[in-house]
């Protein structure tokens, strides 16, 4: 279990939640993204392999959640509310691809279906974290500005992801992001995995399946890096640091923390190969993260960050 986990242990770690930027920034982002289509997977081609099934919502906090049944091990999507029907197939298709990816890249295939609970807005999301996820009400209320997190479906005990669909154009990306947090939680991780690594890997995996709605995210990051306003990785090591940075936001670039973490995951893959993240996350609980990182990359974290920033500041980065 992560050292930065805040939730009761039986809930799994909630350190990987996806926060929403402050309201003003969200409004600006929403406007900027208004023309971005949300049509599911990036390629549009049918995905072979596991399929995901979609269920209507059942009664709240009941013994039946909608997560029951479905093909073994395949993701299951449960929609809680009117107006979400159009999102279901896109989420389902993306999670089926995520399931294949987690198996091939991380060697993790769930033995039971991972359930995706989808809620139409903030109030329903918070209530759902209590009703379907078993969060106590006070803890659930702290997720008011979040777009997603993960835990368990209390009716079945299965792993679950919880999605706030208040920004529909971001739902598919977030669903895949949270799915990979579930995957991470099952790997023999080293001790002290920093938050930027967890978030960056989840975002980079999501990016491969459903491109980030801010298609110019790298250019935005490069711009803030040149201006000296991009957060450093070392300032995003703990969950509290992460949450503070993301909550503060920057109206011009509200996802700077995620952009930086995603760029780190991308850079790791470019420099050390596609299997680097998986290898680090399979290092085992008797290894410190930095030792695991050095064993795979040959670099300490400070040196890696220095090289990442040099890459971001290099002419041409983010220009295409």
Binding site for Zn ion (CB under 5 A): 16, 18, 199, 202
β-pairing, 146-152 vs 159-164, is antiparallel
Smallest separation (angstroms) from Zn ion to the CB of 88: 22
Nearer residue to Zn ion within complex by CB, 90 or 163: 163
Contact 219, 227 (CB under 8 A): no
Nearer residue to Zn ion within complex by CB, 199 or 305: 199
Smallest separation (angstroms) from Zn ion to the CB of 181: 5
Long-range residue pairs from 32-38, CB within 8 A, at least 24 positions apart, any chain: 32/214, 33/167, 33/169, 33/170, 33/213, 33/214, 34/169, 36/169, 36/213, 36/215, 37/169, 38/87, 38/90, 38/168, 38/169, 38/170, 38/171, 38/172, 38/213
d(CA 17, CA 178): 8
Smallest separation (angstroms) from Zn ion to the CB of 72: 26
C-beta nearest to Zn ion: residue: 16
d(CA 260, CA 230): 7
With vertex at residue 74, the alpha carbon angle to CA 68 and CA 75, rounded to the nearest 5 degrees, is 75
Nearer residue to Zn ion within complex by CB, 19 or 96: 19
Smallest separation (angstroms) from Zn ion to the CB of 265: 12
Smallest separation (angstroms) from Zn ion to the CB of 258: 8
Nearer residue to Zn ion within complex by CB, 155 or 176: 176
Smallest separation (angstroms) from Zn ion to the CB of 18: 5
d(CA 178, CA 203): 9
Nearer residue to Zn ion within complex by CB, 153 or 199: 199
Contact 93, 44 (CB under 8 A): no
Nearer residue to Zn ion within complex by CB, 202 or 268: 202
């Amino acid at each position: 279990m992560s050292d930065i986990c805040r939730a009761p242990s039986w809930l799994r770690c909630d350190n990987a939640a996806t926060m929403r930027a402050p309201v003003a920034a969200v409004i600006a982002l929403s406007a900027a993204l208004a023309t971005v289509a949300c049509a599911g997977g990036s390629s549009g081609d049918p995905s072979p392999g596991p399929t995901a099934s979609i269920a209507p919502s059942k009664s709240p906090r009941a013994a039946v959640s909608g997560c029951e049944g479905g093909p073994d091990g395949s993701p299951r999507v449960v929609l809680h509310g009117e107006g979400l029907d159009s999102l279901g197939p896109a989420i389902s298709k993306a999670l089926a691809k995520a399931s294949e990816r987690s198996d091939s890249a991380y060697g993790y295939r769930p033995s039971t279906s991972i359930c995706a609970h989808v809620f139409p807005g903030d109030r329903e999301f918070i209530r759902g974290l209590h009703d379907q996820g078993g969060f106590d009400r006070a803890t659930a209320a702290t997720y008011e500005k979040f777009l997603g997190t993960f835990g368990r479906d209390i009716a079945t005990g299965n792993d679950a992801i919880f999605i706030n669909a208040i920004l529909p154009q971001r739902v598919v990306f977030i669903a895949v992001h949270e799915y990979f947090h579930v995957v991470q939680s099952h790997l023999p991780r080293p001790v002290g995995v920093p938050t930027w690594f967890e978030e960056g890997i989840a975002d980079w995996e999501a990016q491969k399946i459903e491109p980030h709605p801010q298609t110019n995210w790298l250019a935005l990051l490069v711009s803030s890096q040149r201006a000296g306003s991009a957060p450093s990785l070392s300032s995003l090591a703990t969950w509290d640091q992460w949450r503070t940075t993301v909550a503060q936001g920057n109206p011009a670039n509200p996802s700077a923390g995620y952009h930086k973490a995603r760029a780190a995951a991308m850079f790791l893959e470019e420099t050390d190969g596609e299997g680097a993240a998986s290898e680090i996350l399979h290092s085992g609980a008797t290894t410190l993260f930095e030792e695991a990182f050095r064993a795979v990359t040959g670099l300490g974290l400070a040196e890696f960050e220095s090289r990442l920033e040099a890459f971001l500041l290099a002419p041409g980065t983010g220009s295409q």
